[in-house]
Amino acid sequence: MSTKEMYRSLGIREELYELGEEVLQELKPRFDKIDETAEVNQLKILRAFHKERVSEACLYGTKGYGYNDIGRDTLERVYADVFKTEDALVRPQITCGTHALSLAIFSNLRPGDELLSAAGKPYDTLEEVIGIRESRGSLKEYGISYAQADLKSDGSFDFDSIRENINKRTKLVTIQRSKGYQTRRSFGVKDIAETISFIRSVKKDVRIMVDNCYGEFVEREEPSEYGADMVVGSLIKNPGGGLAPIGGYICGTKECVENAAYRLTSPGLGKEVGASLGVLPEFYQGFFLSPVVTAAALKGAIFAANIYERLGYDVLPNGKEERHDIIQAVTFNDPKSLISFCRAIQAAAPVDSFVAPEPWDMPGYDSEVIMAAGNFVSGSSIELSADGPLRPPYSVYFQGGLTFPHVKYAILNSVEYLMRDRDT
């Protein structure tokens, strides 16, 4: 059976298949550059494995208290090497990206301090962490205030606003690399490096944290190489390579990481406890594979942008822009199309392809959210997934894909669903 016939057997009409092939031919030089970046990052990780002498014994893991867990401690040194930081905390006890960010923030602030967001409104799930939306246990309840420097109209950092919002109480500045559920561009490492340098010129001793979710290994360098005190993320996104079943990381200065470890476990215990519970093989192998998995997801996002741009939809980033994360936004201005897109992605998934997702009041969000995630690991957004809030302008946020052929089919299937809606 030919490739075209295989796509036809999966419900993709010939004209749509041909459109996909035409787009792929145009994208080949760009995909070659993505592969070059993946190669550099792959070798970076391999070099760290060699330096830290990763051995079979590192894969065994521990139970109970987890004292002297050689695999856990070696993995954290590997992460610190790759992200070029003094220390790292990489644990299955960190449940998700929001938990990792909350942990980093709470552990490095004290009552009376102030948190400043230098990139405007934070991701929805952090609103309750901060206390923008009332929630038990928020920073606000602990007497930690919050300030926000909004972005300029063009989506760039507003240095004047950042300067105006930094005061004697400002102890931690956070920068969100990815766009979240916003129609702004994501930030590249160079943008973040320039902003870190500016913040230091205003207040030298302030701590700076970068929410690195969705951005790891998209570029050849990470924000931690340019003065960030912490870079924070989830292992069921880029660095888990699709294999990590849970977990998060905080890479940064020794002081910041130790503070986080004491908050994660207990004062007096810190990094010494925390059993690895049998997940170390997936943590190591997932991290090892993450550059090529991230490259597949990045190619999928670029393919999606070019397909939907040709069809007349607003996309962010556009089909030609430089990429700084794996997320692709498509704006439909119509809730029915948003729902249809997500159902098509679900139908293309390897798991639960027969399920039709519905919008629901998802914890941590202020509006209904529809999410397509037929994944091997629940909620893993380095795997193929799409989601969006049911509110204007009805944009979908598409990300992930362990292999490019899978992403390619899913995107063509999403267009097929929209075309069927149009035809009916």
What rounded mean pLDDT belongs to the chain? 95
Q: What are the pLDDT digits (tens) for 233-289?
A: 999 999 999 999 999 999 999 999 999 999 999 999 999 999 999 999 999 999 999
In a domain, 164, yes or no: yes
Is the confidence at residue 420, as pLDDT, over 80?
A: yes
Task: Say whether both 187 and 334 belong to one domain.
Answer: no
Q: What are the pLDDT digits (tens) for 113-132?
A: 999 999 999 988 899 999 99
Q: What are the pLDDT digits (tens) for 299-313?
A: 999 999 999 999 999
Residue type, 342: C
Task: Say whether both 272 and 292 belong to one domain.
Answer: no
Is the confidence at residue 25, as pLDDT, over 90?
A: yes
Task: Say whether both 151 and 38 belong to one domain.
Answer: no
Task: Say whether both 200 and 323 belong to one domain.
Answer: no
| pLDDT band at residue 184 under the 50/70/90 scheme | confident
Task: Say whether both 92 and 163 belong to one domain.
Answer: yes
Is the confidence at residue 362, as pLDDT, over 80?
A: no
pLDDT score, position 42? 98
Is the confidence at residue 80, as pLDDT, over 80?
A: yes
Task: Say whether both 248 and 182 belong to one domain.
Answer: yes
The partner residues of 399 in beta bridges, in order of sequence, read 385
**Number of domain units in the chain:** 2
Average the pLDDT over 288-296 and give the result: 98
Task: Say whether both 32 and 101 belong to one domain.
Answer: no
Average the pLDDT over 11-36 and give the result: 97
pLDDT score, position 67? 96
| pLDDT band at residue 360 under the 50/70/90 scheme | confident
Is the confidence at residue 314, as pLDDT, over 80?
A: yes
Task: Say whether both 232 and 250 belong to one domain.
Answer: yes
Task: Say whether both 8 and 77 belong to one domain.
Answer: no
Average the pLDDT over 195-208 and give the result: 98
Q: What are the pLDDT digits (tens) for 231-247?
A: 999 999 999 999 999 99
User: Rounded distance, CA 184 to CA 383, Å?
Assistant: 23
In a domain, 52, yes or no: no
pLDDT score, position 403? 97
User: Rounded distance, CA 67 to CA 271, Å?
Assistant: 9
Q: Which of 259, 278, 297 is the last residue of a domain?
A: 278
Q: Which of 256, 278, 300 is the last residue of a domain?
A: 278
Q: Which of 234, 258, 278 is the last residue of a domain?
A: 278
Q: For a pLDDT cut of 70, what percent of the chain falls above it?
A: 100
Task: Say whether both 99 and 167 belong to one domain.
Answer: yes
Q: Of the ranges 178-182, 194-198, 391-395, which is most confident?
A: 194-198
Is the confidence at residue 204, as pLDDT, over 90?
A: yes
Task: Say whether both 89 and 151 belong to one domain.
Answer: yes
Query: What is the Cα 160 distance to its own chain's centre?
Result: 28
Domain that holds residue 404: 3-43+288-423
**pTM of the predicted protein model:** 0.95
